[in-house]
Every structure is written in C-alpha cells, then in structure tokens.
C-alpha cells in the first residue's frame, strides 16, 4: 500500500544519499538546496521535505553531528529516513544473540576474523557514542524506529534495491514502519536462510551472486568476498559485467563469467525508485535510468554527497541532481 504525503503539505522531496558521518558535506548540501539552519537541524524550503536513504553512520569523523541534524529534522517533520544496512548492523552489534550466549547478533565479542572485521567497520560510531553507554542505547532504539522502505505514492525509497516480494514479506511479519523493530522480528531477520533475513538483505543491501570457484573480490576496506553485488535493475544489460558492481581495478575477476543460472533482471515499473548503498563514482553524478537513481557517490570515501530534488515527476532526469563536496563541481 502506498503512503501519501503526511498532512498534504509536502509536494517535493529532496532525496539524499549515504552520509557515513560526513556532517560538513551534509550541511553544505542542505544550504545549497535552500535549507535554513534552525536549532540543531535545518528547515526546508516551503513545501519540501528531506528524505535520507540510510547509512548515516560509520566511517566519517562527525557521527554525532550527522545524527543530531537528521534526527532533529525528523522530529520537526522536516525529514524522513529509511534504514540502511549500517543502522541494521548497529542494532545487531548491540543486541545479545539468544542462540549464542555471550555474543551479539552481529558478532563482535570474540577473537575471530569476523568479529575483528565487524569491530573495525563500526569503530567510528562506537568511538563517538561509547560502547554500551546510555547514548549508545538511545541511538540503537532510534535506529529501530526507521522503516526499511518507503512507498510514498509517487516515489519509492530503499537503501539497497527495491523488491516487491521482499517488502511484502516484511509487511506480513509486522515490520512495516508503523512501529519500532521488536526483538522477535529482529531475531527472525537474523536467522540464517529465513524468509525475513533474505528479504531484509535484499532491501537493505542488494542482490548478491556467488562468484565462480577460484574468484573473489576485495571491497573498499580490503575484505575478501566470494559474491558480487549486481545491479538487477539494469534491464538493458546484455552481458554480466554490465550488472556486476565490482571495485575499480577488479573487473578481471569477471572475465569469461556467464550469466548465473536463474538470475533475472527486473524492469522497474510504476513510481521511480531511489537507492543508496553502492559506492558509485565517476566524473560527476548521473541517474541510472529515468526510473531509478542511486544517490550513493562515495561521500564516505572522498566523493560528493548527492541529492535528487523530486517534484512529482514520473521520469527522473540528471538536471534534478545536486551535490556538495568530493572535488567535483556542485550540481543543481
């Protein structure tokens, strides 16, 4: 079911990509779009509302300022935000695992390589809030209130990729954004291979395809992966390398790789979709297609923070993009 504009007074959304603790870029971007600082946050131009695509935290040095801005805007009715995989991971990092006493749902207490990786990925946030403090607990409870996806009638927003079946699975389980994520649903969403785990991963991350034996890629942090993210919305692709999202310089891992058995591309119909998550880069931000825009252009790794100024159009266009920082000329 599509959700319509609250109060009927919002006629345009400024959809903003992954922040990762980049408060300076956020404040510059908001100012460029005509937002005015008020108290801890910013007030939008009349009739507009900000819509954040998640991954507010981790990496950057201004974790708390980013959260302060975003949450003050949410509380004032000036913004909305969907849950990114980093917010979901933060919840798991702080929640005891009932299947593994002494450990957390996102393992981080032990000496394993996986625990070390999770601690390193989350280090900037933990340094900002303090592990196990009241401040830490407060932010975890706030993250639990974030919806995984928003269908606002004229547009759809999700962190990783849109999938109707996955959204329906979360709605059926009661995780529909109308109430905070409770432990029962959280535990189900962390159970390996469960319907909810698969749906949550699809929406907050993306589709991932196993690489053929002997191949692997390393992510932006140097961690080895034996799966590859795929842009399943690129329905125009004719070769697998056109949809496989690998870091620059690792394209050779795809050489000669055929289309995976059963893999299907999804043509986006209906309202346009906005996503983040995928660490795009390039000379300047561009949309993927008239029906989909990825607004993560690696702000957390030196790229620009990108927004799309949506005014009700059914087809997206590059001239509605605006950005700040990252060493490229500001758009808009």
Would you say 329 and 313 are in contact if contact means Cβ atoms under 8 Å apart? no
Helix, strand, coil fractions of the chain, as percent rounded to 5: 30, 15, 50
Burial class (CB in 10 A: 0-12, 13-18, 19+), 21: buried
What does the block give as tokens for 103?
């450990």
**pLDDT surpasses 90 at 329:** no
Distance CA 317, CA 150 (A): 21
- The model's pLDDT over 35-93, given as tens digits with 9 standing for 90+, comes to 999 999 999 999 999 999 999 999 999 999 999 999 999 999 999 999 999 999 999 99
What are the extents of the domains in the chain?
10-84+146-162+269-332
Kindly give the residue spans of alpha helices, DSSP state H, lying in the chain.
Answer: 23-32, 63-75, 85-94, 113-121, 123-129, 134-143, 164-173, 183-189, 195-204
pLDDT confidence band for 6 (50 / 70 / 90): very low
Query: At which residue do the structure tokens 């509605």 appear?
Result: 320
Digit-coded pLDDT (tens) for 129-164:
999 999 999 999 999 999 999 999 999 999 999 999
Residue pair 83/54 in contact (Cβ under 8 Å)? The answer is: yes
Q: Looking at 18-22, 212-216, 313-317, which range is the least confident one?
A: 212-216
Q: Closest Cα to residue 19, out of 71, 91, 95, 94? A: 71
* Residues whose CB is less than 8 angstroms from the CB of residue 311 and which lie 6 or more positions away in sequence, other chains included: 11, 12, 320
The whole-number average pLDDT for the span 106-113 is 97
Name residue, tokens 């390393």. Answer: 218
Q: How far out from the chain centre does Cα 38 lie? A: 26
* Per-residue pLDDT tens digits for 244-262: 998 877 888 887 788 888 8
Q: For 172-176, 186-190, 218-222, which range has the lowest pLDDT when averaged over its residues?
A: 218-222
Banded pLDDT at 8 (limits 50, 70, 90):
low
* DSSP letter assigned to residue 7: G
pLDDT exceeds cutoff 80 at 176: yes
pLDDT at residue 1, as a whole number: 36
pLDDT tens digits for 216-229? 888 766 778 888 89
CB atoms within 10 A of CB 265: 16
Q: Which is higher by pLDDT, 5 or 183? A: 183
Nearest Cα to Cα of residue 321 among 287, 283, 279: 287
- What's the confidence (pLDDT) of residue 46? 96
CB 218 within 8 A of CB 225: yes
Write out pLDDT tens, residues 261-319. Answer: 888 898 999 999 999 999 999 999 999 999 999 999 999 999 999 999 999 999 999 99
Name the nearest CA neighbour of 145 among 189, 186, 102.
Answer: 186
pTM over 0.85: yes
> How far is 316 from 292, CA to CA, in rounded Å?
7
Which residue in 119, 22, 122, 118 sits closest to 63, CA to CA?
A: 22
Measured between alpha carbons, how far is 158 from 150 in angstroms, rounded to an integer?
Answer: 7
Q: What is the pLDDT of residue 172?
A: 97
Residues 2, 8, 11, 16: what is their CA dihedral angle, to the nearest 10 degrees? -60
pLDDT of residue 214: 79
CATH of domain 10-84+146-162+269-332: 3.60.21.10
Q: How far apart are alpha carbons 52 and 287 in whole angstroms?
A: 17
Tokens, residue 329: 């000329």
Rounded to an integer, the average pLDDT of 103-123 is 97
pLDDT level of residue 327 (50, 70, 90 thresholds): low
């Amino acid at each position: 079911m599509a959700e319509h504009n609250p109060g009927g007074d919002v006629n345009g959304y400024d959809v903003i990509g992954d922040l990762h603790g980049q408060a300076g870029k956020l404040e510059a971007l908001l100012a460029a779009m005509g937002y005015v600082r008020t108290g801890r946050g910013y007030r939008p131009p009349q009739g507009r509302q900000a819509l954040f695509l998640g991954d507010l935290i981790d990496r950057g040095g201004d974790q708390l300022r980013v959260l302060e801005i975003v949450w003050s805007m949410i509380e004032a009715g000036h913004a909305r935000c969907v849950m990114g995989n980093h917010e979901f991971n933060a919840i798991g990092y702080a929640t005891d695992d009932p299947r593994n006493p002494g450990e957390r749902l996102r393992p981080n207490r032990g000496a394993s390589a996986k625990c070390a990786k999770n601690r390193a990925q989350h280090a900037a946030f933990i340094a900002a809030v303090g592990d196990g403090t009241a401040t830490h607990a407060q932010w975890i409870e706030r993250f639990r209130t974030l919806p995984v996806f928003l269908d606002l009638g004229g547009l759809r927003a999700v962190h990783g990729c849109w999938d109707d079946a996955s959204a329906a699975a979360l709605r059926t389980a009661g995780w529909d954004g109308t109430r905070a994520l409770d432990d029962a649903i959280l535990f189900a969403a962390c159970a390996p291979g469960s319907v909810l785990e698969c749906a949550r991963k699809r929406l907050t991350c993306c589709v991932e395809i196993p690489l053929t034996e002997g191949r692997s890629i390393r992510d932006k942090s140097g961690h080895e992966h034996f799966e590859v993210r795929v842009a399943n919305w690129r329905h125009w692709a004719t070769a697998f390398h056109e949809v496989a999202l690998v870091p620059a310089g690792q394209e050779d891992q795809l050489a000669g790789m055929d289309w995976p058995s059963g893999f299907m591309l999804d043509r986006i119909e209906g309202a346009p979709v906005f996503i983040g998550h995928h660490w795009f880069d390039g000379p300047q931000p561009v949309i993927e297609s008239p029906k989909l825009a990825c607004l993560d252009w690696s702000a957390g790794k030196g790229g620009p923070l990108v927004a799309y100024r949506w005014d009700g159009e059914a087809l997206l266009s590059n001239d509605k993009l605006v950005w700040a920082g990252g060493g490229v000329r500001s758009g808009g």
